[in-house]
Amino acid sequence: MSNEKYLVKHRIVISQFFMAVLGAVIISTTSWWEGSGLVGEALFSIGTVLVGIATVGRLWCSVYISGYKVKKLITTGPYSMCRNPLYFFSLLGSVGIGLATETFVIPAVIAIAFALYYPYVISREEDRLASVHSGDFENYCKKIPKFVPSFSLFEEPEEYKIKPRIFRKRLIDSLWFVWMLGIIEFIEALHEYSYLPAFFKLY
């Protein structure tokens, strides 16, 4: 098995391991900017904005793909602006969570990890779509950028049929960024009141 196939096949395990390591770092560290005023507050505020955009964006994507992800080629709504909007919004949310720690190091690590890993995932998913939808997907790729949205291409239908049961399940996946903000704030409070030791500080 090639390295690319291994990474994609074990995506969930790899992601969980990365999140566990990152969580351990967040629990055991504090920010140099915490309590210093403008820098820390600005980082947290920007992170909150990104988390908000990501949450709404992922919900928006879920409306379109719930129950149709492979069976139907989705080319409207967020998928009219880029081919992988769900991953785009996930990146915004992940970096936003990193910024909410009031550090530069953690969001940088998240962005680098995403840039190194997710191109493999996206490539494999697009190969699968190409095998199912062949010429339609090829034409779609010629018009629509892979990752960074082009707002000038935006199109949406007057009506769109969704599958409520599947969409409801997607809601939980879309809200975990918001939950993470609350967890980070709780960890910060534990550090502030010395209930949880911090072994070093990150910029």
Condensed to tens digits (0 to 9), the pLDDT of residues 125-147 reads: 898 899 988 889 999 999 999 99
pTM equals 0.88
User: How many separate domains does the chain show?
Assistant: 1
Helix ranges restricted to H, 10-37: 11-28
Strands 200-202 and 29-31: parallel
For the segment 63-88, the average pLDDT, to the nearest whole number, is: 88
Other beta carbons within 10 angstroms of residue 84's beta carbon come to: 23
Gap between the Cα atoms of 37 and 164, Å rounded: 45
> Which helix (H) or strand (E) is 185 found in, with range?
helix 164-192
Judge whether residue 83 has pLDDT over 90: yes
Place of tokens 């690590």: 109
Q: Mean pLDDT over residues 7-22, rounded?
A: 76
Domain that holds residue 172: 3-202
* Alpha carbon distance 138, 188 (integer Å): 48
